[in-house]
Amino acid sequence: MINIKKLMLKFKSEALINNLFNITIAIVVALIISGIFILFMGVNPFYAFEMLFYGVFGSVFGIGEMLAKATPLLLVGLGVSIAFKGGMTNLGGDGQFLVGAILATIAGTNIVGLPTPIHMILIVIVAALGGAIWGGIAGFLKAKYNTNEVIMTIMMNYIALYIFSYLIESPLRDPSGVLPQSKSIPIPLQIPKLLTGTRAHIGIIFALILVIIVYLLVNKTMFGYKVKVIGISPKAAVYAGINTFRQTILIMAVSGAFAGIAGMVQVYAIHFRLLDGIAGGFGFSAIVVALLGRLNAYGILIASLFVGALLAGANSMQVSSGVPASIVGITQAVVILLILINQNSKSKFLNKLFSKKEREVVQDE
Amino acid sequence: MNNIFSQLDLAFWITFIAASVRTAVPILLAALGEIFAERSGVVNINLEGQMLFGAFVGFIVTYITGNLLIGTIVGATAGMLLALLFGWVCISKLANQIVAGITLNILALGITSYFFRIIFGVTTKLPHVATYQNIKIPLLNQIPILGEILFNNNIIVYLTIFIIVISNIIIFRTTFGLKLRSVGEYPRAAETMGVNVKKMRYIAVGICGLLAGLGGAFISVGILGGFMENITQGRGFIALAIVIFGKWNPYKALGAALIFGGAEALQVRMQVIGIQIPYQFMLIIPYLLTAIVLIITGRKAIAPAASGIPYEREKL
């Protein structure tokens, strides 16, 4: 017995090391490929990467930027991972983020007289609810009408984006502002800074708590168990007596709730109001984060710091070397691409996790 | 209100329908490509990225050479190359098609934004190229109303009509089409009959990328005469919805694409004639329509049985 246990442990750690090795190789190769792209514009890639690295780790401000960028990525990424685990693809991070941000801002600027802690809790709940509704709609439509959630969440991103744009131009617009933006959040409600002189805020601590909660939720609760069963085999889920209709909605709603919270955090800690471009493509980077973190809560934490560092460093690299910051979009995509290609037949992790064949079956039930 | 209705005369409707045809072309081309891919068993979520690639490369090459035709052809080829990369990841490396598609969409957005920025820098004045001239087809364009709508268009529009007809024949009337469909329905059986599943899928994905790239190039050099970051604005995903709505059939996809072209043209015209609705609600129309269409078609849509599933030859 003990031998088997030991063997299993060894096997597990070997798989982990194998994984880490693959990811490290993927990152190195992705950086080399990005370097070639940088060469195209006649800049020394080593100089550019030095600037990128220096931009993050050369100052407290840089580290703060990394944490500030990582926080929303971490939150949205956790949500995305839950959908992936449940066999669904939530590309609606941006839309859910915006709905959360809108509702949180309305709750923060229009309700007065509540004690600050209660008001804050209310705001977080409202934001989570907003994201949950926006994600839950896609889940409901999938469960009820068999709509493709990939296309639906993308459409709902655009719908949310234009509603957002309308709201900040008319009903929620701050009449004293020049640009279309909402009234600012009252100072007592703003999320305090973690490091003074940077944009890092204590929202990241909140996000860290959520990492542990997601880990427990996925691995130690009934909900997490059901999510995994549906993700691996919806048919088995039906036979096991799991209400897949309800679970599909719930999975997408929970997934969206995280993006909604991210929207709230971004407004209350970084921008202090609604303004154009606050979602800034976090939805897609969060997909990268979730996949890079192997859909594991702790892995996602590390991945979010990595992508956060890339994004933060890219800005300072753009300023000092002129290399466009969009290069890190290429880097992110190449990392994931290499991991996808590199999956040997032994660990077809992602394929097994959300193989389409099994998902289709449940829709016929 | 009187003022608005007085503008809705015959000339308005003719230009509206003509504009609908024009805006339908890029999504229709992409949707036609996707029909090939999905019929062969590959769900190409990367369609958006392939359109974006076509739009970007088509624009850049036109800008440099000054030749629209060369630009369009190279743009379409660029879409095909991205599609073949997608195909390699999904068909040979057996990766999950949705994840691979999303990843390559991010890659396409990154590459096009990066190179656009490198080539043109940060300018407020967007670079422009001339767009295609309309070619009037003699006699036919004399037909009242219809002549103006159908026979006074640019070459890509005519080409698209040709491609619809040809696609339908290829898919439903040729041996190649039969093989294609069998690979998408039951690859194992197809292989037993001597069809090379992977080869068929590569060809289908290649055709898909070529058409998506052409559609993308039509957006940049055929309609707008310019490029900006993420110019496709989700049209690749709308095309995916059209394929479902059109039941994987070229002619039905044409009908669906025209509805979307109409929605987009309507949205532009409503803004022009000054109906008092915030412009954002007009811009929502195509996306909302896509969502509604997906809901309506949801249960009735029966995709090719093997679409989305990587195929691995049984090991002997």
Confidence tier at A363 by pLDDT (50, 70, 90):
very low
Q: Is pLDDT at A353 greater than 50 in this prediction?
A: no
Closest approach of A335 to chain B, Cα-based (Å): 9
Interface of B with A in 287-306 (CB under 8 A): 287-288, 290-291, 294-295, 298-299, 301
Q: Which of A51-60, B115-124, B170-179, B202-211 has the lowest mean pLDDT?
A: B115-124
With a cut of 50, say whether residue A354 has pLDDT above it: no
Phi, psi of A12 (to 5 degrees): -65, -45
Express each pLDDT in A157-180 by its tens digit. 999 999 999 999 988 998 888 888
With a cut of 90, say whether residue B120 has pLDDT above it: no
pLDDT of residue B303: 85
Q: What pLDDT, in 10s, does the model give residues A8-19? A: 666 666 677 777
pLDDT-derived band at A357, boundaries 50, 70, 90: very low
Over residues B32-91, the pLDDT tens digits come to 999 999 999 999 999 999 999 999 999 999 999 999 999 999 999 999 999 999 999 999
- Using an 8 Å Cβ cutoff, are B240 and B45 in contact? yes
Share of chain A above pLDDT 70, in %: 90
Closest CA in chain A for residue B109: A329
Given A165, A169, A340, which is nearest B95 (Cβ)?
A: A340
Write out the H or E segment, with its range, that includes residue A223.
helix A222-232
CB-based contact A154 B109, cutoff 8 Å: no
Instruction: Give yes or no for residue B287 having a pLDDT over 70.
Output: yes
Which tens digit of pLDDT belongs to each residue from A269-317? 999 999 998 887 888 899 999 999 989 999 999 999 999 999 999 999 9
Percent of chain B, pLDDT > 70? 96
Please, which pLDDT band fits residue A5 given cuts at 50, 70 and 90?
low
Tell whether the model's pLDDT for residue A361 goes beyond 70: no
The predicted model gives B19-28 an average pLDDT of: 92
What 3-state class would DSSP assign to B109? Answer: helix
CATH number of A50-364: 1.10.3470
Domains of chain B in sequence order: 2-300 (1.10.3470)
B70 shares contact with chain A (CB less than 8 Å): no
